[in-house]
A and B are shown apart, each in its own frame.
Chain A
Amino acid sequence: MATDPTISLKIRTALGEYLKRDPATILIRQHLRDDLGLDSMAVIELLYRIEEAFDLQIPDQDLVGLTSVGHVVSYVEKRLKKTASPAPIKKPAKQHKPKSKKKS
């Protein structure tokens, strides 16, 4: 998967900080849940960091597709390209198909 090295590094750094491990050991092909051990809440916390790092708002329905490091990187790339880069994306897209994993 061809990815923007800056975006990829920023995301792997955020993941490394979250997981308290060296970002160099985090690979693009790794699955967030199966390889990195993130549960659904941890994915939400990670995306919260990424939203801040890239000044993005990620709508609920986009969470479904974000299952690997590579998915997150290409998602962020796509979102940043959609706007006149580097202007931030402020508005959530039209919404459909989110997933909710909460209990209460």
Chain B
Amino acid sequence: MRARVVVTGLGVVSPIGIGVSEFWKAALAGQSGISAITSFDPFSMDGYRSKVAGQVRDFAVERFLDSAHGERVDRYAQFGLVAAKEALADSGLQMAKENPHRVGVIVGAGMGGMVMGEREITQLYQQQKPHRVHPNFIPVITLNSASGIIAMAYGAKGPNLTISTACSSSAHALGLALHCIREGRADVVITVGADASITPLVFAGFCSLRALSSKFNDQPEKASRPFDRLRDGFVMGEGAGTLILESAAHAKKRKARVYAEIAGYAATSEAYHMVIPREDGVDVAYTMKLALADAGMTPAQVDYINAHATSTTIGDAVEAKAIRQLFKSRADKIAISATKSLIGHTLGAAGAIGGIASVLALHTGQIHPTANYDDPDPACALAGLSRSAQERRVKVALLNAFGFGSNNAAVVFKQGTK
């Protein structure tokens, strides 16, 4: 029999709070973390079509870490380190008592170290002084810098992997971590999603893709509005989420508190288009079905969906269509929420932060609101969406995540035994 895998620790860095309790309190209150971008100075925002984002404010890594590990990595990896520290402390795991080879780190990151990346590239092209490229440039921009530094910070010598599948990166990281423990390759996996790429070039790139909201620049908190009729694109966010995954047997042995069980995962490709989803929603529905099958469950058992829901016109409509296809009449009985309505789209961190919201829904029976769901779009209206927090017993939660490159992920969580 394959090993059951449970979630025993959580950590988050988000635009609505650093730390799970602050994040969850703000999420349940429907607080928006979206504001006008101020970090591009001396760049003017005038030429940008979109001018708002979910930024982590007043973040200084040294305030959160006792060690020097955060000093020589980029902002996204710093977020990852801080979220990992909180999650490990929350789990009660003591590395000194663990076999280090049985503790892995798997990180999902979409863009990686773009803060330093952009600065160094700009300087080289402007000044043409190759000898002035910073010696730490390559280690910092290498996409596994977060998984590497987190392992170093905690002496985790097990599998150390980074998965980059754009906006679904950390949902796949959760899936890989689940497989890793199921297959007996590790007892514990520190599973992280992290991104911090609200930078002048990356942000301009998303503007040029016409992917971002530009209609609510004067009302930033209104800009991210999944499933609402006035939605006009996603809002970029940044942050990190960490979930400590471990085998149920290992958790039991050390008498760990169990938030939930991670029970199923599926990964598919639509093999369709780099940035546009298939409009019929068939592949999305299939992905959710496959993840439920992996968990040994049927669609009739799902109580809550943490939707991918980025607030784009087509993306939300396709996801709603897929939910209707798979769940049929039950679609309106399932509670649904869109974490991106509160914090924007944190790209590689989105799956992990959505996973945390899913786990907390299972653990607390509370579902955070979907902000700005003011005027339900008939193309994607689902009765389980609400502008208010919902209280209901959630036994099974489904996390959706879809990414550029035509890829889909779905993860199933269920109530864990204490």
Contacts and interface: CB of A to CB of B under 8 A. Distances in A.
Interface in B227-270: 231-234
Interface in B182-199: none
A29 to B, nearest CB: 25
A104 B345 contact: yes
B312 A102 contact: yes
Interface in A31-64: 39-41, 44, 48, 57, 59-61, 63
B314 interface: yes
A77 B271 CA distance: 39
A61 B314 CA distance: 15
Contacts of B273: 39, 41
Given A41-B275, A95-B215, A99-B232, A104 B210 contact: no
Interface in A77-104: 92, 95-104
B232 to A, nearest CB: 5
Q: Summarize A's interface: helix, strand, loop or mixed.
A: loop
A98 B215 contact: yes
Contact of A102 (B214, B217, B234, B347): B234
B347 A104 contact: yes
* Chain A interface residue number, banded: 20 to 34
B277 interface: yes
Contacts of B347: 104
Nearest to B212: A100
B310 interface: yes
* Chain B interface residue number, banded: 20 to 34
A60 B211 CA distance: 9
B209 A102 contact: yes
Contacts of B233: 60, 98, 100, 102
Contacts of A57: 47
A95 B214 CA distance: 7
A100 B230 CA distance: 11
A99 to B, nearest CB: 5
B49 A101 contact: no
A99 B215 CA distance: 10
Contacts of B274: 41
B355 to A, nearest CB: 17
B211 A95 contact: no
Contacts of A60: 49, 210, 214-215, 232-233
B132 to A, nearest CB: 32
B215 A101 contact: no
A44 B167 CA distance: 21
A85 B55 CA distance: 40
A103 B404 contact: yes
Contact of A104 (B213, B232, B318, B404): B404
B276 A103 contact: yes
A55 to B, nearest CB: 13
Nearest to B210: A44
B49 A102 contact: no
Contact of A96 (B213, B215, B275, B313): B215
B312 A100 contact: yes
A92 B315 CA distance: 26
Contacts of B404: 103-104
B123 interface: no
A98 to B, nearest CB: 5
B166 interface: yes
Nearest to A102: B211
Contact of B210 (A63, A92, A96, A103): A63
B99 interface: no
B44 to A, nearest CB: 12
Given A39-B276, A59-B49, A63-B210, A103 B314 contact: yes
B362 to A, nearest CB: 26
A102 B402 contact: no
Nearest to B214: A60
Contact of A103 (B213, B231, B312): B312
Interface of B: 47, 49, 166-167, 208-215, 217, 231-234, 273-277, 310, 312-315, 318, 345, 347, 402-404
Question: Which 10 pairs show the lowest CB-CB distances between chains A and B?
Answer: A100-B233, A104-B167, A102-B211, A103-B277, A100-B312, A60-B214, A98-B232, A101-B314, A102-B312, A104-B404
Given A41-B209, A102-B233, A102-B310, 5 more contacts: A44-B209, A60-B210, A101-B313, A103-B277, A103-B315
18 contacts: A41-B274, A41-B276, A48-B208, A60-B49, A98-B210, A98-B233, A100-B232, A102-B233, A102-B276, A102-B310, A102-B315, A103-B275, A103-B310, A103-B404, A104-B211, A104-B310, A104-B315, A104-B403
